[in-house]
Structure 1
Amino acid sequence: MITPGEYLSLLDARLPGLVVGAHVYGSRVLDDVVADSDLDVVIELSSPAELPAVDGADVAVVLAGALEKPVSEVTPLAGAVTPVLWQQLRTVGQTVRGARPSCPGTAAEVEAYCRDNLVSYWKPDFDQAREALPSRPADKPVARDVLLWVGLGPARLWHTIRTGEIVSKSRAGELAAARWPDLPISDLVAARRGEDVTLTNDHIALAIELFDRILADVAIP
């Protein structure tokens, strides 16, 4: 698991003098690091350049000064930038090089992005899973990483829509479990944290049901 310091050292060796800002977000700052957690980081460059690909690093690259603009005005050099990323950087992000960015934005922009993401990004996957589940063999192994991603990811958006707060996948699972105690969402949280939980087709069905309840709870038809 690469650290911010190790990653910056690698970049400085490849791109001397170009990296003027580095800002960590995601699991590293949300107290949710697990065995396969990436280093989520935004890198600011003084001039355009291509960063080397590094296993375990999920990187967005912008030109210096971009983080002082609304996200709608920024075209990244690599990776993606969103209102949710901007909010993380201005609230819980950790600056490890350069000045802490302002990342201007509004709560309405964040909520609108989350609502759209539930429909445009997540809903097609759940529609496919709903269609495929009845014919899926009961003894077929469940893709653990995929299930944890789809099972807990929408809950993060649900919580942000309701409160404006950005939380980790594990915390979102805990909050969803408290909201819907009849669903075994705690199994997904425990599995994410490395506990020995056997995931089955029932947990795929759980993820689908949770997604449906999330849409209903935030009034998305």
Structure 2
Amino acid sequence: MTVPAEVAAITSQYLELIDKTRPGLVRGFYLTGSIPLGDYSPGRSDIDGVVVVSEPVTDPEVVRAVHAKLPERPYFDVTYLTASALAAEPDRSTPVVYTIDGQFQDPAAAGSVTPVLWSELARQSIAVRAVDGLVVHDDHEALVDHTRDNLTSYWVPMLDRLDRAMTDRPVDQPLDGRIVSWVVLGISRLHALLATGNIISKTAAGEHARARFPAYSALCTQAITHRAGHGIPLTSTDGTQTVAFGRAVITSAQHL
């Protein structure tokens, strides 16, 4: 698969900088997320990836100066992991340096250390710098369990909050389309994984949901359209429908 030009330029810049400032630290670099799934949108998507390091990186200061020299956008969102860590099941008890929206997070939170990242790396990643003989622990049962838990522990409360927010708004009040796109496509990706066993792109998830939940076909189309960068006017009514859609998808997922 061809790597988008801006992604190739930034990853090349990163590797040049890290090799100069921290020689021998980075053994490998793999792109995950939207890029290998063919769903990268220049100017809108992030650069997601896994940096395979020769020794654990638990303090952001080790690499902060390098990240500071990269462009602010697209966000450079990577996780620093050793090959031995990737060969075992995800260990959330060990601090890990990672970024979200280009910002370093608390290493102790280990937010990106999940079966999803391991499976993405094992199944559908692009090696910018490959590690010979790299073994990644891809546990499908753990991936399914994590997905089910995420639906109930993260998305159900999120839908509850969105539902309360829509209750207090006039039905015709404009609504940021990012909310609809994020919720519709995010929940749909999890349903698709449980239904098919595959991790798919957000756009493909919208298409999956459009076919599986025809009553919400127009809403799914709106989410896909917004993700593609085409602004469309949405209102609180669409937000309310998004809540109903999310609840329907989660109920369906419980029977998969």
Partner residue, 2:109: none
CA RMSD of aligned residues (A): 2.1
Q: 1:181 aligns with which of 197, 202, 214?
A: 214
Aligned counterpart for 2:200 among listed residues 164, 167, 176: 167
Deviation at 1:60, TM superposition (A): 0.9
Alpha-carbon separation, structure 2, partners of 1:91 and 1:31: 14
CA contact (8 A) 1:24 1:39 kept: yes
**How far did residue 162 of structure 1 move?**
1.5
> Match for residue 101 of structure 2?
none
Bigger drift between 139-148 and 192-201 goes to 139-148
1:173/1:189 contact within 8 Å kept:
yes
CA apart distance, 1:94: 1.1
Deviation at 1:67, TM superposition (A): 1.6
The answer to whether structure 1 residue 42 and structure 2 residue 50 are counterparts is yes
Query: What corresponds to 2:39 in structure 1?
Result: 32
Query: Does residue 20 in structure 1 map to residue 52 in structure 2?
Result: no
* Cα deviation, residue 163, structure 1: 1.5
Cα deviations across residues 112-143 of structure 1 (Å, max 9, x unaligned)? Answer: 00000011111111101111212113454423
Q: So what's the TM-score if we normalise by structure 1?
A: 0.89
3-state SS, counterpart of residue 200 of structure 2? coil
Whether 2:78 is the aligned partner of 1:59: answer yes
- Taking structure 2 as the reference length, the TM-score comes to 0.78
1:190 match: 225
Contact 1:89 1:101 in 2 (8 A): no
Most deviating of 111-120 and 58-67: 58-67
Name 1:91's counterpart in structure 2: 123
Residues in 1 aligned to 2:143 and 2:193: alpha-carbon distance in whole angstroms:
8
How far is the alpha carbon of 1:33 from its aligned partner? 1.0
Residue 147 of structure 1, aligned match among 150, 175, 180: 180
Does the alignment pair 1:156 with 2:156?
no
Contact kept in structure 1, 2:51 and 2:81, CA below 8 Å: yes
Structure 2: where are the runs of 5+ without partners? Answer: 1-5, 99-111
Q: Distance in 1 between matches of 2:91 and 2:79?
A: 15
Match of 1:208 in 2: 243
AA in 1 matched with 2:117: L
Change (3 A) 1:98 1:122: same
- Correspondence for 1:127: 160
Q: Pairwise mapping of residues 97-108 of structure 1 onto structure 2 (< 5 A)? A: 97-99=129-131, 101-108=134-141
**AA of the residue aligned to 1:166:** I
- Closer, same or farther in 2 for the Cα pair 1:143/1:15, shift >3 Å? farther
SS of residue in 2 equivalent to 1:28: coil
- Residue identity over aligned pairs, in percent, reads 32
